[in-house]
Each structure stands twice: as C-alpha cells, then as structure tokens.
Structure 1
C-alpha cells in the first residue's frame, strides 16, 4: 500500500468503533459462558472483571503480534509469542479473581469458574475470535481502500489520455475533411469506437479481447495521419474472454506513436506483440526514435513511466513485471501480468 493509500486507509479506519463492537461481542460471549439464568449482580461483576484480564492479551495480540509477525508471515514467532501471552494472562486471571476481586467485593466469594486448563482454553478461544474479527476488519477496510484507489487512478489515467487524444483526433478529422468523405467516415467510426470504450467500458474490468480491439481501432485511426514509409505491425494470438483492468496498454501504444512515428525520423516503425498463455499476459512494444529527442527520453524516464508503474502497482501488486530497454535508436517496453 502506498503512502496515499495508507492515509486514506487510516482516515476510514476507526479503531474506536471496532473496539467497541469487539468488546461488546466478547462481553456477551463471556456472559453466555459463565452466567446462570436468571442473571444476578455477581454475574455482571464477574464478566466485567474477566474482560479486564482479557484486554491486555487481546490488545497485544491484535495490535502488536498480528501486524508485527502474522502479516509479515513470521508464523512460528507469532504462534510462540501468542502461546506465551495467553498462558501468562490466563494464570493472572485466576490470581486476579482470588486475590484482588474477592477482596474488593467482600459480599461475594470469587473463584475462577474453571480450572487452569479450562481457563487457558477460554483465553485461547477468545483470542482467536478477536484475531479473526481484527483480520476481517482489516481485510474489509483494505479492500474498500484499494477499490477507491483503483477508481481514482483510472479516473486520473482517463484524464491524462482523453484531452490530448481528443485534441489530436479533431485535427485529424479536420485534415481529412477536405474532399475525402470515405476516409472521414472511416476515421469517425474508428474514433467513435475508441471514445465509446474510454467513456463507458473503462469504469470496470474488461476482457483482453476488448483491449485488443481498442488497440486495433487506435492503430487504424492513427494510420490516417502517418507517412507511407512508416511501418506499423500488431501481432496477437489473443482469443480469450479473460478479464483485465482497462486502459493499461493504450498509454504505451500512444507513447510509441507519439515519439516514434511522429518524431520526424526516417522509416519510423512501431511493432506491437500481444500474447496470452497460461493466464499470463505478455505485451511488447518497440519503436525507433531520435537519439537526441530529450523530450521522449525524459517522458519515459519521468512522469510517463512513473504513472504507468503506479497504476500497475495498484492494480496488480506483485503480479506484474515492467521492463524498458533503450538503445540509441530504439525503445522497447515489455509488460508481463499474471492474471491468475
């Protein structure tokens, strides 16, 4: 989780509400285990005092051991420390009732309802319940936060692409409108398909097949404004309805056209390869460019690649690999995503 995600997570994560609900739940669990019906005053005193001895071990467990060891996959250390803490406080529970509570409430005689082993089992069961609800709460808040983050990043991504793309698209339609009605019709249809996808289909998960169609429409549209000596190849074996987050590949394609075919170089080319095998998506795109084109180099090394990496880190954490190979005249990007 990045810094912005963590801040938003904390903002929506109210531990006071969680603790209130947790201890109310535990109160009724212990009351059910210990109390005799009809309920008497001593039942409530005993349950409350019992909960007081549970607060330290449960708090240590869910606020220290879980984030420090369990979530970092240090399972052996987590189990050992949990056993020590639960054993220690279950023993203190018995001593607390026999030596302290019994002297505070002199009208009653307090002893532990259970023997040492039974008390240990109760402490272990309550600790497991508390840990389960803590992990459940973290999971719910984390997923809510991730969903917000994904939605925000997709909106930002659309905002980065759309204004520039629409501006250039209008210029293309204008240049084609002079005595070329057929070309205008085809270009308008291609643009319509692209914009419909961007505006309506990019709000949710889409299929790899639709992403492929988006790239094909983009290439067909861009071919209207490139010189005859340019080479554009799109190789794909995609024939699947597997899902993928939208608008991940188009920014890479757009950058290759922008800095390759539009950079006034001899025999410009863009070669795109899209494959899908065993739930792994492979996307490769290569283009040539001017070696002294500082703007191109800075964009890929700066804001451009940064945004792409941030989107992938949010959408596919630990399930993708992005590599960039640069020579004096060519730029190649390789993206691998595990879609299992």
Structure 2
C-alpha cells in the first residue's frame, strides 16, 4: 500500500469515527454519559467531605447545573459566541454562574462539610467549608463544566461546517473535472474529422478504415470512459488505435510505441496521455520527416510516460493551440496533486516530455 493509500485510508477511517460520534441519533446517549460523569464526580466529592445527604444534594445541584449549561450552549453560544460577541458572551456566562452560585448557596451550602482531624488528639470534627473557599470551588467547577460543554459544541459545529465546505469543494472539483473532460472529446473529434476529410479529398482507400477506427475511439470515449477511472490497458489500447488512425492519415510519419512492465491491475484517469501525444503529432507534423517516440514504463503502481518528437525551427502556431495540453495539466493538478511530476524539455529541433505518475492499484 502506497503512502497516498495509507493517508486516504486514515482520513476515511477518521471521518467514519467522527461521523458516528456526531450522529444526531446518538446525541441523547452522549448527553447522558456527560451528566453521569458529572454526577459521579459530585457524589465522590460529597462522600469525601463526609456529607450524609450527598445523593439528595448532588441531584439538586446537578439539575441546576444542567439548566445553566444548556442555557449557555443552546442560547448564549449561538447568539453571541459564534457571532464573535465574545465580551457579551463572557459577561452573560459570568452572570449565569453568579446566579448559579446564589441559588446553590441556599440549596446546599450548609451540606458542604469536610472532616478535620486533630493531629495531637486524633479527634475528628466536621467543619463547614468557608464561604470564600466554597465560592472559588463551585465557580471553578462551573466554569470547567461550561468550558467542556462549549468546547464539545464548538468542535461539533466546526467539524460539521468543515464537512459542508469539503462537500462544496468536492462538488466544485468534480464539476471542473467533468468540464475539462468534456472539452477533450470535441477537440479530438475535430482533429480526427479533419484528418478523414483530407483522406476523402485524396480519394484514399484507407478512408473507410479510418471511419471504423474513429467509431471505436468514440465508443471508448462515450461508454468505457464514463467512470472516473479506466484501466491502463484499455487506455493504451485506445492510444494505439488513435496512432493507427494517424498512420493512415500520414504515411511518412515515424511513430513508435513501446511498453515496458505489466499494465494490468492499474487504474488511471482517462485521457491523461492523449493530449501530449496530440501535441507531439501537431508539432512534428510541421517537419519534413516527422518522428514521435512514445514509451510507457510501469514500475508497480508508478507509470513513467515519455514522448519525444522533432519540431520545426519556426513554428506557426494558431491562437487556439495548446487547449488540450492546458486541460491535461489542470486535470493532473486536480487528480494527482503531489503524486505526479511533469518535465518538459525543448530546443530548436526536439521536444521531449516525461510524466511520472503514482497511481492506485486495483
């Protein structure tokens, strides 16, 4: 498994975990677990202090905490904090805690006692917690509970918003890729029909064969390439048919296609290599003795694609040239970000291109 595969698998698993945790169906369960933890903490605190009515006091305090927390996360959070009104949120949260302390004082302050042991006599006495210590203890506790609840709420909302943004981004990406993919068919069809037209004007017997080859090529484009991925074997066969069509059109072209390695078991995005070959045919065709060397080297899930062609010293290029080449560069950036390398070298007589592509195994 490649590093890219591992990363995608980790992201997928993490997304599945968060999706389960944030599933609205289980929200009630998480709320119950949260308050059970708080209740257990309260019970433990009262037992340590030696209170005889710990359960009753804990229930009273827990209900009060529940009201304060839900008022904060379902009203103050959405009305002030998420809108950037931090000062108002802080003031109102502090005010709610003051109200909590006031009510809590009349409900259970007298129950807040602890054991004090005389070191000399060993006598144990029950002492009521000082008012200042009580305020600090319960205020800190309430800030902690609210902070935890708000943190969970903030994380949940952030994660949901990120998923929405990612969905929008993915939709936009797919639309752009589909647009770029759709641009390939008219561009290729225009070139092929133009070639067949030239053959028909010369009354060549190869015209009918060219039409059959074009039919097969269009079938591949319309049906086999409906998916986002195609097999490398099918894509190379498509390129071979295209080159046959080109050889029928121009007999004096010297075109070679070599394949090294095993092509089965590898999927790629369709029409990745075609624009580079079209580009080579276009520029070598301006020379008196055109030649194009195409080579595929497959090393596991890595494809090394090379095209070398000659070109004229002075090129007469129209303003519409380079459409297919620009499209495929954009598609490579979108589909194989950080997993491809495109190297182009050019001089007065030769043009060479090398594309290294890391693909996904079936």
What TM-score do you get using the length of structure 2 for normalisation? Answer: 0.61
The 1-side partners of 2:139 and 2:27 are apart by 20
Higher mean alpha-carbon deviation, 209-218 vs 172-181, is at: 172-181
Q: 1:196 to 1:326 in 2, by over 3 A?
A: same
**Following superposition of structure 1 onto structure 2, how do residues 23-38 of structure 1 map, counting pairs within 5 Å?**
29-30=30-31, 33-34=34-35
Aligned to 2:300: 278
- Residues 154-175 of structure 1, C-alpha deviation per residue, up to 9 Å, x if partnerless? 333332x333432332343344
Distance apart, 1:242 and its partner CA:
1.1
Distance apart, 1:118 and its partner CA:
11
Aligned to 2:279: 255
Distance apart, 1:318 and its partner CA:
0.9
Higher mean alpha-carbon deviation, 319-328 vs 132-141, is at: 132-141
Q: Is the 8 A contact 1:208 1:244 kept in 2?
A: yes
The 1-side partners of 2:264 and 2:182 are apart by 25
Aligned to 1:233: 256
Q: 1:54 to 1:23 in 2, by over 3 A?
A: farther
Aligned to 2:355: 335
Distance apart, 1:256 and its partner CA:
1.0
Q: Is the 8 A contact 1:42 1:108 kept in 2?
A: no
The 1-side partners of 2:193 and 2:325 are apart by 27
Distance apart, 1:272 and its partner CA:
0.6
Distance apart, 1:196 and its partner CA:
1.1
RMSD after superposition: 4.6
- Residues 62-96 of structure 1, C-alpha deviation per residue, up to 9 Å, x if partnerless? x9xxxxxxxxxxxxxxxxxxxxxxxxxxxxx8x77
Distance apart, 1:125 and its partner CA:
8.4
**Following superposition of structure 1 onto structure 2, how do residues 81-230 of structure 1 map, counting pairs within 5 Å?**
99-103=98-102, 127=151, 131=155, 134-135=158-159, 138-139=162-163, 141-142=165-166, 145-159=169-183, 161-177=184-200, 180-181=204-205, 183-204=206-227, 205-228=229-252, 230=253
Q: 1:50 to 1:231 in 2, by over 3 A?
A: same
Q: 1:298 to 1:133 in 2, by over 3 A?
A: same
| Paired residue total | 281
Distance apart, 1:98 and its partner CA:
5.0
Q: Does 1:287 align with 2:309?
A: yes
Q: 1:240 to 1:130 in 2, by over 3 A?
A: farther
The 2-side partners of 1:168 and 1:274 are apart by 24
Q: Is the 8 A contact 1:26 1:126 kept in 2?
A: no
What TM-score do you get using the length of structure 1 for normalisation? Answer: 0.64
5+ long unaligned stretches in structure 2: 1-21, 40-58, 85-92, 110-134
Q: Is the 8 A contact 2:294 2:306 kept in 1?
A: yes
Q: 1:50 to 1:137 in 2, by over 3 A?
A: closer
Distance apart, 1:304 and its partner CA:
5.2
Distance apart, 1:101 and its partner CA:
3.2
Where has structure 1 moved over 6 Å in runs of 4 or more?
Answer: 21-28, 104-119
